[in-house]
Amino acid sequence: MTQRTGHTGLRIERLRAGYGDAVVIGGDEEGLSLALPAGRSLALLGRNGAGKSTLVNTIAGLTRRHAGRLHLAGIELTRLAPHERAAAGIGYVPQERRIFSSLTVAENLSAVARPGPFDAARVWRLFPRLVARRQHMGHQLSGGEQQMLAIGRALVTNPKLLLLDEPTEGLAPIVVEELLRAIAALVREAGLSAIIVEQHAAKILALTDVAAILERGRIVHAGASSMLGPELLARHLGLVEQKE
C-alpha cells in the first residue's frame, strides 16, 4: 500500500543503498538527502564510480535499500517494487535502453502507454526520425534511434519524474544534438521533472535548473546549474568544460 504525504516533487531522506551488503549511496550514518520540486530538472554529475547510476537505479527500485525513505508527489516509494514505482510516476531510461527488440517502434509505445498528455503523436513530434521507422522492429534501429525510442517509451507512461542515465553515451555528435534539443524541450517547455546523469557536464548544465555532484555516494555540491563554473568542475570532476 502506498502512503501519501503532503509533499510534491521528489524527496529523499537519509538514503543508504547499494548492491547486496555493499553500500554505495550514503555510506556514512547521515545517508544521502535530496529534494527536487515538481517541474524542476537536475543534472547529476560526478566522476566514474561516484554512484550516479546507483542513485537513479535506487530511485527506480533496482538496488538494495539499507536505510532512508523516498517520496514522489506525496507517495512514499520506499517499500515499492520497481513496477509499483513506475505506476506511481517514475519513468526510467537506463543506460542499456532495454527497448522491446521484437516489437515495432509503434508497439513499444502502445505496450506501456498510460493516459496523459504524452502519447505516441507527441513522441513522433519530439523525435521526427522515428516516424519513418514506426513499423521497424526495435533491433533494426540504430543506437541513437533506440535511445529516442527508450525515452519516448518512458514518456508515454506519463511519468511525474523522468530518470535519464547517460542518454548520450556512445552516440554520434549529430544524434547527441538531437537528443539534447529534445531533452531541452521536455524540461524547459513541457516542464517535466527530470534527473539526468550525463558525462557532458557543460551541455547538460545549460538545460537543467539545478545540479548535484556526487563523490563516493555523497553529495558534495548542490546548487543552481548556472552557478556551476569551471573551477567547481575542475575541483570535483577533474576537468574544465567550456560552455557552448
Q: Is the dihedral of CA 185, 228, 198, 115 positive or negative?
A: negative
pTM, full prediction: 0.91
pLDDT at 6: 41
What one-character-per-residue DSSP string does 192-236 give?
Answer: -EEEEE-S-HHHHHTT-SEEEEEETTEEEEEEEGGG--HHHHHHH
Summarised one tens digit per residue, pLDDT across range 83-140 is 999 999 999 999 999 999 999 999 999 999 999 999 999 999 999 999 999 999 999 9
> What would the mean pLDDT of 7-16 be, rounded to a whole number?
90
> What would the mean pLDDT of 63-77 be, rounded to a whole number?
96
Q: Alpha carbon of 143 to those of 99, 125, 129, 175, 189: distances in Å?
A: 11, 19, 13, 9, 26
Residue whose grid cell is 544521502: 32
Q: Is residue 2 scored above 60 in pLDDT?
A: no
Q: Is residue 30 scored above 50 in pLDDT?
A: yes
Q: Is residue 199 scored above 70 in pLDDT?
A: yes
pLDDT band at 144 (very low <50, low <70, confident <90, very high): very high
Q: Is residue 4 scored above 70 in pLDDT?
A: no
C-alpha 53/C-alpha 68 separation (Å) is 18
Measured from the Cβ of residue 128, the count of other Cβ atoms closer than 10 Å reads: 11
Query: Of 159-163, 179-183, 235-239, which gets the smallest average pLDDT?
Result: 235-239
- Spell out a b/e string for 164-177, using b for 16 or more CB atoms within 10 Å of the CB, else e: bbbbbeebeeebbe
> What would the mean pLDDT of 229-242 be, rounded to a whole number?
74
Task: Write down the mean pLDDT value for the chain.
Answer: 91
- Specify the DSSP element, H or E, that contains 32: strand 32-36
Q: Is residue 194 scored above 70 in pLDDT?
A: yes
pLDDT at 1: 36
Q: Alpha carbon of 221 to those of 93, 180, 207, 209, 229: distances in Å?
A: 25, 24, 18, 14, 12
> Domains of the chain (ranges plus CATH)?
1-89+179-244 (3.40.50.300), 95-158 (no CATH)
pLDDT band at 71 (very low <50, low <70, confident <90, very high): very high
